[in-house]
Structure 1
């Protein structure tokens, strides 16, 4: 137990601040849509999903000389389309295709740089890996904390803040609060690690589906498309996708990433929790003919379970009550991480000195 306590204390002192940053930014990002609704024109508009309106907006957006690579369409909670360009450029557009806000750097939009910090630590793919490793370390931190708390469980007190600014009171509060929110922290950290680290996701889903089968089922079709038409038949393509999956919500429309690529339309069926869904329809960019489709409900079980990671992690299901629960989880992680760092670096060798004195 002494070794475990020492390991827990040192791990908290070393990664606590990083976990605090991830927790705080995650808690804020849960309310991104509410922030946009309060600050950006047309963000409160009612979502429109009829073929004619979607086609008109798509035509207007992609007809621009400086067209985006993809468009994420408005949702029931956010009446804006998001335009994604190469690099850090982006824009929000009303549902008629009119651009209302545009930016050329992540720093120009608070919700954009906040997401970059939370998901990439401002360091692209490398930051994503570091964040995933931090989540795994955080899981170890939670598990060891529960083991250390168990002998003191009869002294449990529910307090949002330590009763006094002394190390003993802070440690007692840290253990009790950590034990209380442990299930939520395990959920957040596990889903975060699975999204950032592919091998973690594969390991968690391997009992349900072989990783090779999941990867093959999620791969894009190996079909070569023609040259992008000057005036693609967006109405025909969107209508064909809606006809293929009746009742599905059209979520993302993407141009070919390179010559020979396909136009992709991503949809969300009613049974899907993932906000943008995983149901796909692909079209030849030359003539708008549907050449392939993929029903997310027919994916291997492991893939369908993996598709629950993001909606559970980012509180995209469950409405306001679940958003508040995950907000509390993120803020608690921020508090626990901050206090762990403060108490450790305030006296990093104190416990070792006390043990030596006791043994002398």
Structure 2
């Protein structure tokens, strides 16, 4: 019975590896790059995304005014992203002036110290954006994202089957036989690399299921905790004044006063007469360093607080959904966590290559033995005729 169960688990492990393994290997390598996507993107486009610190940064309103005047032909500014380090730059997003225009948003980069325009490009363009699309969607859009969620689920089953197969072989199960038969070396490397990377690989695959199939996971989590619903269209209720909107700098000041100790990441600008300032913040104590959960909506004329999203008031469901990406890329554990995920991201490629070689070697061996078996069987039966 145990032998039969082992054979079943072996088949499960084999066929899941052969079908989903290549996609998982591709996701692992691209994921390693995306762990440090911002740093890589800045280095690849250093002429327009990096600068030398010198003095104090220019104000948000000054940069917005200069950019809108210089790049008016690109549309209107709807978002400004603040520099993430002293060497980073402002990024402003230009969108079409009217909804009838089919125009891709443009990202414009400004030096925060000299207020000089450093360059521009279409949003979500460049090598890093392409790698992200390959990693998250296999270049297949929404269907590709769902497919990656299914692949992540199959990888979880494959990991469990690998542990089940290894468990009876624990003695000597952590050694790699160097310098002997290639088959033995491949088997040991496959086994040991999988065991050493088991916890982070399992976590990456587990969170990948939610990131690809949120509509499957949310009803399950919703059985235990409710997700907070925020209004989609928050509007300014104050009457426009002769002074106009309060400005992005004032909106940032009011947001920090509401959430002291937070870091402002970006500011969405009002697009209509009843539009609002929406400030994105990373609050103290949040899981992850690169993204923020805090949101503050402000009346564009009076600066009145209209709506907040506070990390400290999240339900279990809110927190669970929010930390999935931080866990997926290792950001939940700081720089060390990201470095670990960066290294572990190459393990699926090792597992797929060694697993494929083991399967191919065994298959080729069976093909070679098959004619001999048939010949031997004929020779044994011949004398009885």
TM-score of Structure 1 vs Structure 2, range by shorter chain: 0.7 to 0.9
Aligned equivalents of 2:129, 2:248: Cα separation in 1: 29
State yes or no: 1:219 paired with 2:230: yes
Q: What residue ranges of structure 2 are gaps of 5+ in the alignment?
A: 1-5, 96-103, 378-385
Deviation at 1:164, TM superposition (A): 6.0
Aligned equivalents of 1:122, 1:246: Cα separation in 2: 41
Deviation at 1:300, TM superposition (A): 0.7
Instruction: Decide whether the 8 Å contact of 1:237 with 1:283 is kept in 2.
Output: yes
**Root-mean-square deviation (Å):** 3.8
Write the mapping of 1:204-283 to structure 2, written as runs, cut at 5 A: 205-206=221-222, 208-209=224-225, 213-214=226-227, 217-220=228-231, 222-225=233-236, 233-255=247-269, 262-274=276-288, 275-283=290-298
2:88 to 79, 103, 118: 79
Aligned length: 349
Corresponding residue of 2:327: 312
Deviation at 1:301, TM superposition (A): 2.1
Aligned equivalents of 2:55, 2:311: Cα separation in 1: 23
Write the mapping of 1:122-137 to structure 2, written as runs, cut at 5 A: 122-137=139-154
Question: What TM-score does the superposition give when structure 2 sets the normalisation length?
Answer: 0.76
Instruction: Decide whether the 8 Å contact of 1:205 with 1:306 is kept in 2.
Output: no
Query: Residues 29 and 222 from structure 1, CA distance in 2 versus in 1: closer, same or farther, beyond 3 angstroms?
Result: closer
Write the mapping of 1:65-214 to structure 2, written as runs, cut at 5 A: 65=72, 66=74, 67-76=76-85, 79-84=88-93, 87=104, 89-95=106-112, 98-104=116-122, 106=124, 109-159=126-176, 166-202=182-218, 205-206=221-222, 208-209=224-225, 213-214=226-227
Aligned equivalents of 2:362, 2:86: Cα separation in 1: 47
Corresponding residue of 2:349: 334
Instruction: Decide whether the 8 Å contact of 2:266 with 2:279 is kept in 1.
Output: yes
> Deviations 1:285-323 (Å, cap 9, x if unpaired)?
566543222212111122123322222222334444322
State yes or no: 1:28 paired with 2:33: yes
Deviation at 1:241, TM superposition (A): 1.1
Q: What residue ranges of structure 1 are gaps of 5+ in the alignment?
A: none
Deviation at 1:73, TM superposition (A): 2.3
Question: What TM-score does the superposition give when structure 1 sets the normalisation length?
Answer: 0.81
Query: Residues 279 and 132 from structure 1, CA distance in 2 versus in 1: closer, same or farther, beyond 3 angstroms?
Result: same
